[in-house]
Amino acid sequence: MNIEAFFTLTYGLYIVSSAVGKKRNGYISNTVFQVTAEPPKIAISCNKDNYTASLIQKSKQFSVSVLHQDVKPAIIGSFGYKSGAEIDKFEGIGYIRGASGVPIVTEDAIAWFECNVEQEYDVGTHLLFIGEIINSEMVDPGKTPLTYAHYRDVKRGVAPKNAPTYIDKSKFEKK
């Protein structure tokens, strides 16, 4: 199998967030996609080991913030490579609370979606959540969305171990 083929699949980079009471968390996701237009639904994939997965399962709600290409490295670092069990990822970050109470990151975001979970699927290491969109807004429509290809090729970023697109470097074909 040629692992490089996986890099031809296109993804955006997003912050997916949820909360239960005063507990809140979020993570960088590259697996968010629209499922239907009517009613409007999107799907997200979350590693079972992510703290956010348990919050989504309990609250049955999540938000998705679409990041732009000029996102601050500190936001990627905090939401992508640190544990919400150890730090408050929302401290010092621009965000609002949605009608459902979920935190929605607005800093360095182009748009956001607030969702109620309708279905959950166990797909091995990850959970797939299907959410009906209950609210959405444009934050900065003039910006360009951050893609995983741009993050990897231009910013030289790599997917963390819990990401659906994480590939162990030992699996790359030797050239």
For residue 2, is it within any domain? no
For residue 156, is it within any domain? no
C-alpha to C-alpha distance for 99 and 144, rounded to whole angstroms: 27
Q: What are phi and psi of 39, to 5 degrees?
A: -70, 155
What is the residue range of 42's domain?
13-65+74-141
More confident residue, 147 or 112: 112
Q: Residue 84 belongs to a domain with what CATH number?
A: 2.30.110.10
CB 118 within 8 A of CB 39: no
Give residue-wise pLDDT tens across range 68-108. 999 998 998 889 878 888 889 999 999 999 999 999 999 99
Give residue-wise pLDDT tens across range 5-46. 766 667 889 999 999 999 999 999 989 999 999 999 999 999
C-alpha to C-alpha distance for 39 and 131, rounded to whole angstroms: 10
For residue 160, is it within any domain? no
For residue 164, is it within any domain? no
For residue 128, is it within any domain? yes
pLDDT grade, residue 3 (50/70/90)? low
For residue 154, is it within any domain? no
Whole-prediction pTM value?
A: 0.84
Count how many domains the chain has. Answer: 1
Helices (H), 22-121: 51-59, 73-81
For residue 83, is it within any domain? yes
Nearest to 18 by CA among 64, 49, 72: 64
DSSP letter (8 states) at residue 1: -
